[in-house]
Amino acid sequence: MIEVSKIINPSNASDGAGVKLKRSIGVEPNYYDPFLMLDEFGSENSEDYVAGFPPHPHRGIETVTYMLNGDFEHEDSTGGKGKMTAGDVQWMKTGSGIIHSEMPAMKEGKLHGFQLWINMPAKLKMSKPEYIYIKADKMSIHKDQDKEVKTIAGKFEKAEGPVKGHNVEPIYFDVVLKKDKEFKFDIPETHNSFIYLINGEIKIGSKVHDKIKDSTLILLDNGKDLKVKASSDSKFLLISGKPLNEEIARGGPFVMNTKKEILDAVNDYHNGTFVK
């Protein structure tokens, strides 16, 4: 039985041009191999998000943006453009380097979503950037009388996510669980896993742990049998991946294996040779 390893309340932060968000991975813990960062952004006040994320570079990571509410427009140095709406996912493999912007396509209303950073192995860090766009209506969903499980990556029952053949064998589920009902799932014992509770209240495993309620990161022990029980109607993300076990060197939006590679990325950016 998988038990709770650590319960973490996210820190308030801001990024881009002042977008307010809650950051959990990327603060404490600094990373949770292969995951480098997890942000929840959300507000009904447009002043908290309207400035968006103007053009900025990335190298050596994957960014996974999942929209729950609102509209965001994306544009990048490869010529790629897209508009994300509620329920959509953008899975970006930045590889050798990309410069992109993410700007809200709305001036009022509720914006709510998540951005997850996944580390790339050394052998793929300088690969060609690529995107996976997943529209909400293309997502496989398992539904029964107790729960609803949207699969972005991995497989639950017969619902399989569109992200396949990935080196960290990711699992990314959005789970809605009714009060007093249970969610059970077998996670590979090789994986590092966490739950991010969005709203509601849940209990994990069989041991007593502190109350877990709303916007909370829960790191899980390595194990196999996951059991989550909802104390009230609840919604959470289950995210899991195989660790890379490689050296990590970080420099802002760049994540490589050595300090020299970070300096190279900074020099490339300033020299105008960043986009290969």
Q: What is the pLDDT of residues 15-47, one digit of tens each?
A: 877 788 999 999 877 899 999 999 999 878 888
Q: Decide if 89 is inside a domain.
A: yes
What's the mean per-residue pLDDT of the chain?
Answer: 93
pLDDT band at 122 (very low <50, low <70, confident <90, very high): very high
Mean pLDDT over residues 195-216, rounded?
94
CATH number where 15 lies? 2.60.120.10
Q: Decide if 257 is inside a domain.
A: yes
Cβ atoms 23, 39 nearer than 8 A: yes
Where in the sequence is the domain holding 241, given as residue range(s)? 4-271
Quote the pLDDT of residue 109.
Answer: 83
- Please state, in angstroms and rounded to a whole number, the distance separating the CA atoms of residues 188 and 56: 35
Q: Decide if 186 is inside a domain.
A: yes
Degrees (nearest 5) of the Cα angle 98, 104, 105? Answer: 115
Q: Decide if 77 is inside a domain.
A: yes
Total domains, the chain: 1
Q: Decide if 48 is inside a domain.
A: yes
Q: Decide if 276 is inside a domain.
A: no
- Please state, in angstroms and rounded to a whole number, the distance separating the CA atoms of residues 170 and 176: 20
More confident residue, 273 or 120: 120
Mean pLDDT over residues 55-78, rounded?
92
pLDDT band at 159 (very low <50, low <70, confident <90, very high): very high
More confident residue, 17 or 208: 208
Q: What is the pLDDT of residues 240-255, one digit of tens each?
A: 999 999 999 999 899 9
Q: Decide if 65 is inside a domain.
A: yes
Q: Residue 9, class by beta-carbon neighbours within 10 Å (0-12 exposed, 13-18 middle, 19+ buried)? A: exposed
Residue 276 has pLDDT above 90, yes or no: no
Cβ atoms 220, 249 nearer than 8 A: no
Q: What is the pLDDT of residues 72-121, one digit of tens each?
A: 898 888 888 889 999 999 999 999 999 988 888 877 888 899 999 999 99
Indicate the range of 54-58, 106-110, 183-187 predicted with least confidence: 106-110
Sign of the alpha-carbon dihedral angle for 262, 30, 246, 102 = negative
Quote the pLDDT of residue 238.
Answer: 98
Q: Decide if 185 is inside a domain.
A: yes
Residue 135 has pLDDT above 90, yes or no: yes
In this prediction, what percent of the chain has a pLDDT beyond 90? 75
**264 Cβ contact list (under 8 Å, min separation 6):** none
